[in-house]
Amino acid sequence: MLLAAFTKALASLKTYRVEIPQENRYIAVQLPDRFVQEGMGGIVKIGDRLWVASPWGLRIGSGSTPFFDRANINWYKDQFAQSSQVVLLGPGTAEGVACIGYSANFTMTKANPPKTPGGAPEISQIPVPVKIWFATVDGYPRRIEIGPPQSLTINFFDLNDNFTITPPQ
């Protein structure tokens, strides 16, 4: 049922924005792979290419951006597909919208600071509960809840608004 919900949502979802309140972060997304951080400094990611605006100019590179991964509905689809157990949570609401929820544990990487100066951080894999809520009226994702141990909420809005994410000049 969950993969059917993802498939239905992704068939017609082209753009959306997310709010991550715990990070005071807003991200615009143009599927399949275009992201721009809004309001906190210019960071644009298209495919694996990254543009970062700073007071010293525009830097261009590539790399991982975990906050863009957290905004990517395709990433969640892949993670839920790999999960060995998905639980139907049943009905709920997100921002007053009637939803149906699902839950699974994802394996995420945790980095603990080094125990000695100059030492390497301790890297471990930990299970993290993730809940996703799809609106019953249109099938689009409305909220994702991650955690604990580190809890994050990702709210989806401006679904299919007309915008295009382009590389900075």
Per the CB < 8 A criterion, the answer to whether 127 and 106 are in contact is yes
Three-state DSSP at 74 gives: helix
pLDDT at 21: 92
Instruction: Say how many domains are in the chain.
Output: 1
* pTM of the predicted protein model: 0.83
The pLDDT value given to residue 69: 81
pLDDT of residue 60: 65
Domain that holds residue 42: 2-157
Name the token pair of 47: 């495919």
Residues 6+ apart with CB under 8 A from 61: 49, 50, 52
Q: Which residues of the chain have pLDDT under 50?
A: none
CATH number, domain of 103, equals: 2.50.20.20
